[in-house]
Amino acid sequence: MRFLMVEDNADLAASVQERLSLDGHAVDWADSLAAAADCLAAATYDLILLDIMLPDGDGRDFLARHRAARHDTPVIVMTARSEVSDRVTVLDTGADDYITKPFDFAELEARCRAVLRRKGGSAANLRSFGGVVFDPLAATIHFDGISRELRNRELRLLEILISAPGRIFAKSQLYDRLFSYAEDVSDNAIEVYVGRLRKKLDGSGARIETVRGVGYRITE
């Protein structure tokens, strides 16, 4: 999944980027509201991590404008304010969740997972498709008594495809969802990860189809 982190503390931003990248997420960093607006104009994000006090404005105003424009990207507000009234305000403004600074990275990861599950219409970690039981938390797939582990990019690619079975994802869309601006990836990176994931799904009722000249989709 691709995240946008809007945070002016460079050390915190670097730490969050490093931690989330270990889970296979691509994280772009914006240190101001203006930079965040530029990122949103250029890419599509699965989740936004939003600080409140930024050099060029208030994150709550940014959130209000984002929701007024009918953007439904999930937003987790990161705030040092712990008063109930502050938390109520950000939730009423349109935040999907909040986390109080300083926070434990494990809690941030768990909140990201919970918000993304709700966005996908699921309250549980396990997902099933084509006889395959997919556990993104354990990074495994199970079918016909077989259990296989997924590496980070394989995991995130399967999450994208299985979120909309039958939908064709263009190669450019997959690049956009899997890699951040800072990453230098080869032109055939998507083909490599699709090939690896196909091998993991081999023997199951789910398969990844190539739609020539268009992209990829997962089918039963």
pLDDT digit string (tens) for 28-37? 999 999 999 9
Predicted pLDDT at 24: 84
Question: What mean pLDDT, rounded, does the chain reach?
Answer: 90
pLDDT digit string (tens) for 182-206? 787 887 899 999 999 999 999 999 9
Q: Binning pLDDT at 50, 70 and 90, where does residue 86 land?
A: confident
Which of the pair, 24 or 174, is modelled with greater confidence?
A: 174
Predicted pLDDT at 136: 84
Question: Structure pTM?
Answer: 0.74
What's the distance, CA 180 to chain centroid? 11
Sign of torsion, CA 106 111 112 114?
positive
* Number of alpha carbons in the 13 Å side-chain half-sphere of residue 183: 19
- Say if CB 2 and CB 46 are below 8 A apart: yes
Separation in Å, CA 17 to CA 2, 139, 180: 11, 20, 10
132-135 and 140-143 as β-strands: parallel, antiparallel, unpaired? antiparallel
* Neighbouring C-beta atoms of residue 207, cutoff 10 Å: 13
Predicted pLDDT at 124: 59
- Give me the domains of the chain, ranges plus CATH numbers: 2-119 (3.40.50.2300), 127-219 (1.10.10.10)
The answer to which of 22-31, 78-87, 122-131 has the lowest mean pLDDT is: 122-131
Predicted pLDDT at 28: 95
